[in-house]
Structure 1
């Protein structure tokens, strides 16, 4: 019988056990401290307190902010909802429609064509430059308009391109039709009962500008109403925000904005090289 081993086991001092236990805990703690943080673990400020649930609110707020930033980014540079505020484009577009405007349509060297439905900033051509107001209110309004939740700025318009730079646009021939470069245009998209124009005009559109008109001619303030304004009622191409492509709201009107072939027979303006599809709308 090994009595010396038993005596040694009995005589082990309590201090040595505590010292051993302390060393063991210290070594475990140091090992944990040296371990890398798990890859999927969130920062402490996002985790929050388990009792208050603050981390969930912070994550939700961060997600909402990221989504809002993404929507504003897309609306600012790619595709912007636009609330139709009036009946000037009936029956193509109705008041309350929300159309999606392609802001890249003319960004890479392409220009608006006859027949395109465009959204543009009319400040300086359809009226005076927009006055400066409260910057905070203006910013909030622009943000709401950018996602289609508010009416667009008073200087923003939606109309159809009837004449491009160099075109001679006149009204009217013996049948009451508008002529572009001497070619009568059958505008089948006009609001029922409207005539092409009750105002006579004869204008050559300057280069880099557009002659635009609403489809509801009897209810539209367009290039005809600003013949005496700077630019003679025409709109600079660089003020075009984009081309109206789709009707996104209400659900029952989901569709593309109808294209027209009314201008396919219009010849190029004198001195201009005809395009591959003269007078035709994009798309």
Structure 2
């Protein structure tokens, strides 16, 4: 009994600086788990999604939903791995070792240079088409796209901007909101995936702009996609509100720290 009491007093009197490395380690492990299974931060490197996303914005991407078999829907803003060397001609700054480590853990936005972010316009079974200046049509229904960059037209009257495609199952047709400054599915129809993004290459859905604070906002599905008639397997999605996940890391870490401190006192 005396030995047990001595150990309890030792834990109770242990200074906070002794526990600090353990708390930091717990926080890093928690951040890694969240980044792997729940949320991951990404930094926007270009203006292809203006005005929805600006260069330098940090977005949080939902990685949990795909674990339950959900696939991207029309109107969602998604992050995906480069499907067929779309970024071959794009210069990328090589991250240093610290940035790579912090990006891997999830403390900093991902430094991965082979990820892109676009809006899903068509899913498997959809027919997507553009002619002249637009509008974009999905299964014959014209989209009203208020998110398109001011001054842009929904379609581009050029070789890549004029198209009519049927999206295969398991693939996505994506376009940037800055239509005249986005090298998206339209301009990669000659590559190995014919401009399509395999669902398996999707990292997750961008759900919130987390930084800078003055631009904090969610990224819901625009109402126009309610009217795009879908196939039996992919009905038109309902508009939805997205919960703010921005404080999830802190909210999860605090109870663990408090619980441990209470046990130490006892």
Q: What's the TM-score once normalised by structure 1's chain length?
A: 0.72
Using the alignment, how far apart are the partners of 1:39 and 1:233 within structure 2?
Answer: 64
Bigger relative CO (Cα 8 Å, ≥ 6 apart): 2
| Kept in 2: contact 1:82–1:146 (CA 8 A) | no
Using the alignment, how far apart are the partners of 1:101 and 1:57 within structure 2?
Answer: 34
Q: 1:274/1:35 Cα in 2 relative to 1: closer, same or farther (>3 Å)?
A: closer
Q: 1:123/1:137 Cα in 2 relative to 1: closer, same or farther (>3 Å)?
A: farther
- The residue number in structure 2 matching 1:88 is 48
Deviation at 1:144, TM superposition (A): 2.0
- The residue number in structure 2 matching 1:191 is 149
- The residue number in structure 2 matching 1:9 is none
- The residue number in structure 1 matching 2:108 is 149
- The residue number in structure 1 matching 2:8 is 39
- The residue number in structure 2 matching 1:249 is 211
Using the alignment, how far apart are the partners of 1:204 and 1:225 within structure 2?
Answer: 16
Deviation at 1:164, TM superposition (A): 0.1
Correspondence 1:226 to 2:195 = no
Q: 1:147/1:188 Cα in 2 relative to 1: closer, same or farther (>3 Å)?
A: same
Using the alignment, how far apart are the partners of 1:88 and 1:59 within structure 2?
Answer: 46
Q: 1:190/1:146 Cα in 2 relative to 1: closer, same or farther (>3 Å)?
A: farther
Q: 1:37/1:148 Cα in 2 relative to 1: closer, same or farther (>3 Å)?
A: closer
Tell me the SS of whatever aligns to 1:262. helix
Q: Which residue of the other structure, out of 142, 162, 167, is the alignment partner of 1:205?
A: 167
| Kept in 2: contact 1:72–1:143 (CA 8 A) | no
Question: Deviation per CA, 1:158-186, whole angstroms, max 9, x where unpaired?
Answer: 1100000011111127x621111111111
Question: Deviation per CA, 1:62-93, whole angstroms, max 9, x where unpaired?
Answer: 22222111112111110111111111111111
Deviation at 1:233, TM superposition (A): 0.7
Bigger mean CA deviation after superposition, 213-222 or 100-109: 100-109
Question: Deviation per CA, 1:110-145, whole angstroms, max 9, x where unpaired?
Answer: 2211101111112446467xxxxx9x9789526426
RMSD, aligned CA: 2.9
| Kept in 1: contact 2:187–2:195 (CA 8 A) | yes
| Kept in 1: contact 2:121–2:175 (CA 8 A) | yes
Moved over 4 A (4+): 55-58, 136-140
- The residue number in structure 1 matching 2:124 is 165
Using the alignment, how far apart are the partners of 1:196 and 1:262 within structure 2?
Answer: 13
Using the alignment, how far apart are the partners of 1:260 and 1:152 within structure 2?
Answer: 29
What does 1:1-283 correspond to in 2, within 5 Å? 36-42=5-11, 58-124=18-84, 126=86, 141=100, 143-144=102-103, 147=106, 149-150=108-109, 152-172=111-131, 176-198=134-156, 199-269=161-231, 272-273=232-233, 275=235, 278-283=236-241
Unaligned regions of 5+ residues in structure 2, if any?
89-93, 242-266
Q: What's the TM-score once normalised by structure 2's chain length?
A: 0.76
| Kept in 1: contact 2:83–2:193 (CA 8 A) | no
Tell me the SS of whatever aligns to 2:147. coil
| Kept in 2: contact 1:92–1:258 (CA 8 A) | no
Tell me the SS of whatever aligns to 1:210. strand
Deviation at 1:36, TM superposition (A): 4.7
Highest Rg: 1 or 2? Answer: 1
Deviation at 1:273, TM superposition (A): 4.2
The aligned length equals 232
Using the alignment, how far apart are the partners of 2:166 and 2:190 within structure 1?
Answer: 14
Unaligned regions of 5+ residues in structure 1, if any?
1-30, 48-54, 129-133
Using the alignment, how far apart are the partners of 2:87 and 2:215 within structure 1?
Answer: 32
